[in-house]
A and B are shown apart, each in its own frame.
Chain A
Amino acid sequence: MDKEKIIAPNQIGYLIMKDDGGVLDSGGDLKNDVRSANVIMGLLNLTESIDEDFMPNSSCERITIDYGQHYYSICMSNRRIYVVKLSKTHTQNGATSSSSSSTSYNDAAEGNNIGSSSTVMA
């Protein structure tokens, strides 16, 4: 535990990868989780080919995957891929103490609203 990085106060796990998918560092729930790393690399490969007009090639700098109780935040920076799995149950504390986690929380909550509107239609 002492060797694990704390990226955000409410983190459950983290992965740091090279842009070729090699895992550089990991901890918490995602410790040595090569399977998740592969899934995320596959996801990043797919996002590259999404609509050129709306999101030009590889301009996508951040991805969140929101599961209600927890969410993943994936950031691309300096040829590194940072994946953090965060808990939402403690976000109240996190949101006040850290500005970066407060933006993540807002966006995730917004995603939920959209999600619920798509639930109505189905």
Chain B
Amino acid sequence: METQLEKVLSDIVTQQDTVGALLANRQGLCLGAKGDINPNVSGIGMAISDQVAALEPKSAVSTQPEARHPTICLYSGNRRCVIQRNGEITGIIYKQHTAAPASD
């Protein structure tokens, strides 16, 4: 039943710099999590995407799907938390920038 979901999560977690990923439903409950991420974060992540939805009134938003579902990114040092809502599903991804061979 959730093999498709697991596959998507595995795909996300294997991306570069990604530490963990999870998906939350409309109730803020965790549908699935992969990698180093606390499933309890689903609720707060969902609350953040709800809060941000109030930032731009619906009328001002153009027809682009991107515009309706902004990508929220929290930065802390070399860590990032990316949150995006798509319809009923909210995705939360933890990223950690490992020391790159280039500058920084």
| Chain B residues packing against A (C-beta within 8 Å) | 4-5, 8, 11-12, 15, 19, 23, 37-38, 40-41, 44-45, 47-48, 51-52, 54-56, 61-62, 64-67, 69-77, 79-82, 84, 86-87, 89, 91, 93-94
Docked complex Cα distance between A46 and B64 (Å): 27
B45 lies within 8 A of A50 (CB): yes
A98 within 8 A of partner (CB): no
Once A68-B66, A121-B5 are accepted as A-B contacts, the answer to whether A47 and B11 lie under 8 Å apart by CB is no
A64 within 8 A of partner (CB): yes
A67 lies within 8 A of B67 (CB): yes
Min Cβ gap B6→A in Å is: 11
Docked complex Cα distance between A56 and B71 (Å): 22
Cβ-closest chain A residue relative to B53: A39
A118 lies within 8 A of B86 (CB): yes
Min Cβ gap B12→A in Å is: 6
- Excluding A51-B37, A65-B55, 10 further A-B contacts by CB distance (< 8 Å) are A36-B55, A39-B52, A55-B81, A64-B75, A72-B55, A107-B73, A107-B75, A117-B11, A120-B8, A122-B89
Docked complex Cα distance between A122 and B74 (Å): 22
Partner of A115, one of B4, B8, B66: B66
For the residues of B in contact with A, the DSSP-based class is: mixed
- The interface on chain A, measured as residues whose beta carbon lies within 8 A of the other chain's beta carbons, has a size of 39
B74 lies within 8 A of A55 (CB): yes
A90 within 8 A of partner (CB): no
- In the bound complex, residues from chain B placing their C-beta under 8 Å from that of A46 are 44, 47-48, 51
